[in-house]
Amino acid sequence: MAMHTKERPVPNGVVLEMTGDLTYANREQFKTAVETIRQKGCRHLILNMAEVRFVDSSGLGLLALVSQNFKLSQGKVSMLKPQSYVREIMSLANIQKLIPVYDNEQDALAGQQRAA
Amino acid sequence: MPSLSVKHTAHAAPRTVLVVDDEPTARMALAARLKRLGYRVIEAGDGKAGLEALRRERPDLTILDWMMPEMDGPSFCEQVRQDPELLSSQILMMTSQDQPEQIAEGLARGADDFLSKAASKYEITARVQAGMRTATLIRRLEDVTDQIRRKQEVLEQELQSAARYVESLIPASGIVVPGVQMVQAYRPSLALGGDLFNIVRWSDDFLGLYLLDASGHGVSPALRSASFATFLRRDSLLHHVGSNDPGAILTEANKQFPLTDNGHYFTIVFASLDLRRHTLSYATAGHNGALLHRRSGETCWMAKPNLPLGFDNSTTYVAEELPVALDDRLYLLSDGLYEVPDPTGELWGQVRLDETIRRFGDRPLAEVVSGTIAEAIRWQGHEQFPDDVALMGLEIAV
């Protein structure tokens, strides 16, 4: 399934609304969307995964890459509401150690404030 | 000699037109006209002879009479469109009555364009040139398709040779050290996934065992796996890590193999089998493919959630230790073995794999390994796995 992304500014960050599959086939689109946000100087990227049905091994690698790139520019990445199957894939690879997972936007934003 | 000849500077040989008409006078008149325009002309007196000429000469364009004995124009077209060798031929159909319904029928049965028998010299030239333009485009498309197919074949050959190279790095089944038997099965997928496993022989009573998976598909993960396997050789580990502890080995590998620019990485399970102390210690990085099947019949998955290699260079991987006993069996396997969908899309899964291995009980190890692969094939309903499949089983007999 193709991926669609839409960015939405929030206080001290950007929420990227994602729809579709985070997979090898959609890697360029995801990378471009995220890099655009990072180059605008965003310090906190919140990936809204509520409408993402599937993440494959390439998708996991991209999430790690995005997290590393944001760290290099003094930023951070959080994740919002992954579906249960996606959550399971993430936890097998312990991704939440790199990218904290939140169930609502307020908590995600508060997480950033605590970290600051 | 004619002065109206068309110059074909792009083509050394003149373009060829086949004229199929049972009336000799009309046929010869049209042939003469086309020759004056600079085309090479082949003539045929009926549909059958026309088909033979089409097959033999492959003209750029065929001009076809509608009414002919034996095989008429539309039947000729139908034959051509059913023949995979001929179906892209350009056919211009001649007719004396240009009734719209007749034209529609001719087009429906396979003609590309029409030419009235009463057409002017100018119109004949224009229609023939239009047909030639289409013929040129079709030829070009066919040439490009051919080139792509040939390149695809080369790529597939490269994948196969990469698969053979990876296979050459994999240990053969047999007695590894006295008291340890190993049986393996390796089925690289057509797309080649970069799964690799091997044994590091520290001494006769201390073995390192690993199974790794490079993310991505194609030649590149196969090469990255091969490079990782080089790092995991005994001498290299002594030099780079200076320890046979699985945790220390993965912690160092995590630094040596960062994420690639495209976000590619390795997952791995690394185990050390100490035959003197009868212990098994293991560490995993994003991999959950090690199963211990105890002599008592119970099984346990050796996995705990851990980042894959390259995700965070500050990660410390810590080994867990388990006791092992005589006749225990250890299986290292890739996720490609159990992530196989049945025709409805349901995955075989770790639970069914676990049950399958337990069901085999104490049957010989070789039977368990081949029977488990056969069970996964039965589940998916065909032989070709979507991802690489690797399974390495070890039996401890000391």
ipTM (interface predicted TM): 0.86
Query: Is A94 within 8 Å of B286 when comparing Cβ atoms?
Result: yes
pLDDT confidence of residue B218: 83
Structure tokens at B257: 């193999």
Give the single-character DSSP code of B14.
Answer: P
The mean pLDDT of B309-325, rounded to a whole number, is 95
> Strand, helix or coil at B92?
strand
Q: Is the pLDDT reported for residue B308 higher than 60?
A: yes
Which stretch of A59-68, B113-122, B358-367 has the lowest confidence by average pLDDT? B113-122
Question: Which residue would you say has higher pLDDT here, B358 or A111?
Answer: B358
pLDDT confidence of residue B96: 78
Which residues touch A67 (CB under 8 Å, ≥6 apart)? A76, A77, A98, A99
Q: Is the pLDDT reported for residue A52 higher than 80?
A: yes
Cβ-based burial of B235 (10 A; exposed 0-12, middle 13-18, buried ≥19): exposed
Q: Is the pLDDT reported for residue B13 higher than 80?
A: no
Q: What is the DSSP string of B226-265?
A: HHHHHHTSHHHHHHHT----HHHHHHHHHHHSPPPTT---
The CB density around residue A66, as the number of other CB atoms within 10 Å, is 25
Which among B4-13, B114-123, B321-330 has the top mean pLDDT? Answer: B321-330
A91 touches chain B (CB under 8 A): yes
Looking at every residue in chain B, the average pLDDT score rounds to: 91
What value, to the nearest 5°, has the Cα angle with vertex B88 and ends B155 and B57?
Answer: 100
The mean pLDDT of B82-92, rounded to a whole number, is 94
Q: Is the dihedral of CA A104, A105, A107, A108 positive or negative?
A: positive
Please state, in angstroms and rounded to a whole number, the distance separating the CA atoms of residues B79 and B365: 60
Q: Which chain B residues are closer than 8 Å to A64 by Cβ?
A: 259, 263, 265, 307-308, 310-312
pLDDT confidence of residue B83: 94
Q: Is the dihedral of CA B355, B359, B360, B361 positive or negative?
A: positive
Q: Is the pLDDT reported for residue B166 higher than 90?
A: no
Q: Is the pLDDT reported for residue B329 higher than 50?
A: yes
Model confidence at B217, pLDDT cuts 50, 70, 90, reads confident
Model confidence at B97, pLDDT cuts 50, 70, 90, reads low
Please state, in angstroms and rounded to a whole number, the distance separating the CA atoms of residues B343 and B270: 33
- The shortest CB-CB distance from B306 to any of A64, A65, A94 is to A94
> Strand, helix or coil at B361?
coil
Helix (H) or strand (E) holding A29: helix A27-39
What would the CATH number be for the domain defined by B16-144? 3.40.50.2300
Query: Is B263 within 8 Å of A61 when comparing Cβ atoms?
Result: yes
Q: For B240, what's the count of Cα atoms within 13 Å in the CB-facing half-sphere?
A: 19
Separation in Å, CA B365 to CA B189, B269, B291, B302, B327: 24, 21, 14, 19, 11
For residue range B342-377, list pLDDT tens digits in order. 999 899 999 999 999 999 988 999 999 999 999 999
Q: Is the pLDDT reported for residue B24 higher than 90?
A: yes
Model confidence at B100, pLDDT cuts 50, 70, 90, reads confident
pLDDT confidence of residue B350: 93
pLDDT confidence of residue B357: 96
Looking at the complex, report in whole angstroms how far the Cα of residue B257 sits from the nearest Cα belonging to chain A. Answer: 13
Query: Is A64 within 8 Å of B216 when comparing Cβ atoms?
Result: no
The mean pLDDT of B183-206, rounded to a whole number, is 91
pLDDT confidence of residue B6: 47
Name the residue among B118, B10, B116, B120 with its Cα closest to residue B60. B10
Model confidence at B267, pLDDT cuts 50, 70, 90, reads very high
Looking at every residue in chain A, the average pLDDT score rounds to: 90
B170-396: in CATH 3.40.50.150:
no
> Strand, helix or coil at B62?
strand
Structure tokens at B45: 């007196």
Model confidence at A115, pLDDT cuts 50, 70, 90, reads very low
Query: Is B263 within 8 Å of A27 when comparing Cβ atoms?
Result: yes
Model confidence at B309, pLDDT cuts 50, 70, 90, reads very high
Q: Where are the domains of chain A?
A: 4-108
Please state, in angstroms and rounded to a whole number, the distance separating the CA atoms of residues B213 and B269: 9
CATH architecture entry for A4-108: 2-Layer Sandwich (3.30)
Instruction: State what percent of residues in chain B have pLDDT above 70.
Output: 96
Q: For B260, what's the count of Cα atoms within 13 Å in the CB-facing half-sphere?
A: 11
Report the relative pairing of strands B279-285 and B320-323 from DSSP bridges. Answer: antiparallel
Q: Is the pLDDT reported for residue A21 higher than 50?
A: yes
Q: Which residues pair with B210 in a beta bridge?
A: B198, B270
Distance of CA B169 to the CA centre of its chain: 22
Looking at the complex, report in whole angstroms how far the Cα of residue B120 sits from the nearest Cα belonging to chain A. Answer: 55
Looking at the complex, report in whole angstroms how far the Cα of residue A92 sits from the nearest Cα belonging to chain B. Answer: 5
Which residues touch B117 (CB under 8 Å, ≥6 apart)? B26, B94, B95, B96
Q: Is the pLDDT reported for residue B163 higher than 90?
A: no
User: Is the entire prediction scored with pTM above 0.80?
Assistant: no
pLDDT confidence of residue B4: 44
Looking at the complex, report in whole angstroms how far the Cα of residue A4 sits from the nearest Cα belonging to chain B. Answer: 20
